[in-house]
């Protein structure tokens, strides 16, 4: 993710460089009474029409990718064999990639597989304690709720949103992409999450049934927008690699339970922090 207006793709900020490899505590924070107290909830849109197909006239989101730097992001397990999904820009150009699994321990990533057509990447480790359920075939509707989970600024946190439309994410710089993504209007954040959501890139987006329907890849802080990979892009990427994501248990999510459930997923290491080092030391 990138600042100031288009917080996308680069997860390294000067303000967090000093804490790139420091997790904000092994224990998850206590669930507040109102998990979205920091931002006044926007009026919820009723579930509307089906999300239309990509169109050449969709809003264009321009991003510039600089040189690879040490950074942080988020990944989540799609099977217990040790396959994790994240955003391409989180791990592209990294000499070493690891998953922070608590108490300062880092699980080694043996292989990084980067998509050439989308902001997606797969990470391979020897195992995963549990896997998330993916729903990549359901038709999405304008106005439906999304829950974004990850490690904004290197700390546990989440955001809620509602689906607005499709957009086109046009990337220039270290690599070039032009792909359809989903645009969400941010409606709330968990207690203590202020400023940029940098570090949440690569994290899962859940629907109200608790199934993953996207991967967070960008934000526009000024406009209150979060951008995610669409379900069909994820499905195509996995199918191209011959992967099946059987997933596991899915629990319904709501504003009252979202922070608690997100903390549980991080404790169970279904959602983890990714660390990238561009040097080989």
Return left, alpha or beta for 114; rule: phi > 0 is left, psi -120 to 50 is alpha, else beta. Answer: beta
Q: Residue 251 above 70 pLDDT?
A: yes
Mapped onto helix, strand or coil, the DSSP state of residue 265 is helix
Name the residue among 207, 239, 199, 66 with its Cα closest to residue 134.
207
Q: What is the pLDDT of residues 259-272, one digit of tens each?
A: 999 999 999 999 99
pLDDT in tens, 129-178: 999 999 999 899 999 999 999 999 999 999 999 999 999 999 999 899 99
Q: What is the distance between the alpha carbons of residues 46 and 25, in angstroms, rounded to a whole number?
A: 38
91 sits in which H/E element: helix 88-91
Quote the pLDDT of residue 281: 62
Q: CA 36, CA 267: separation in Å to the nearest integer? A: 21
- Long-range interactions of 19-27: CB distance < 8 A, separation 24+: 19/154, 20/70, 20/71, 20/72, 20/154, 20/275, 21/100, 21/275, 22/154, 23/100, 23/102, 23/104, 23/154, 23/155, 23/273, 24/154, 24/155, 24/156, 26/102, 26/103
221 falls in which pLDDT band (50, 70, 90)?
confident
pLDDT at 102: 81
Class of domain 47-277 as given by CATH: mainly beta
Pairing mode, strands 71-79 and 83-86: antiparallel
b/e sequence 58-94, b meaning 16+ C-beta within 10 Å? beebebebeebbbbbbbbbbbbeebbbbbbbbbbbbb
Instruction: For residue range 37-84, list pLDDT tens digits in order.
Output: 344 444 555 668 999 999 999 999 999 888 888 999 999 999 999 999
What pTM, to 2 d.p., does this model score? 0.82
């Amino acid at each position: 993710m990138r600042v100031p207006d288009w917080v996308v793709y680069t997860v390294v900020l000067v303000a967090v460089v000093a804490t790139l490899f420091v997790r904000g505590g092994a224990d998850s924070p206590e669930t507040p009474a109102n998990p979205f107290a920091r931002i006044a909830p926007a009026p919820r849109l009723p579930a509307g029409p089906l999300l239309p197909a990509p169109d050449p006239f969709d809003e264009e989101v321009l991003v510039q990718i600089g040189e690879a730097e040490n950074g942080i992001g988020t990944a989540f397990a799609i099977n217990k064999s040790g396959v994790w999904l994240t955003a391409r820009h989180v791990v592209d150009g990294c000499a070493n990639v690891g998953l922070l699994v608590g108490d300062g321990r880092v699980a080694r990533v043996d292989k990084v597989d980067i998509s050439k057509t989308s902001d997606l990447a797969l990470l391979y480790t020897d195992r995963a304690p549990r896997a998330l359920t993916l729903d990549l075939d359901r038709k999405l509707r304008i106005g439906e709720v999304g829950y974004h989970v990850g490690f904004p600024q290197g700390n546990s946190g989440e955001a809620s949103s509602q689906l607005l439309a499709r957009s086109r994410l046009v990337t220039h710089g270290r690599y070039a992409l032009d792909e359809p993504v989903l645009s969400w209007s941010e409606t709330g954040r968990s207690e203590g999450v202020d400023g940029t959501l940098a570090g949440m890139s690569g994290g899962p987006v859940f629907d109200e049934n608790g199934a993953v329907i996207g991967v967070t890849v960008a934000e526009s802080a000024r406009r209150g927008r979060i951008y995610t990979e669409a379900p069909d892009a994820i499905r195509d990427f996995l199918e191209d690699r011959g992967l099946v994501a059987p997933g596991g248990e899915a629990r319904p999510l709501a504003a009252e339970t979202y922070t608690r459930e997100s903390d549980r997923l991080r404790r169970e290491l279904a959602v983890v922090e990714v660390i990238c080092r561009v040097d080989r030391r």
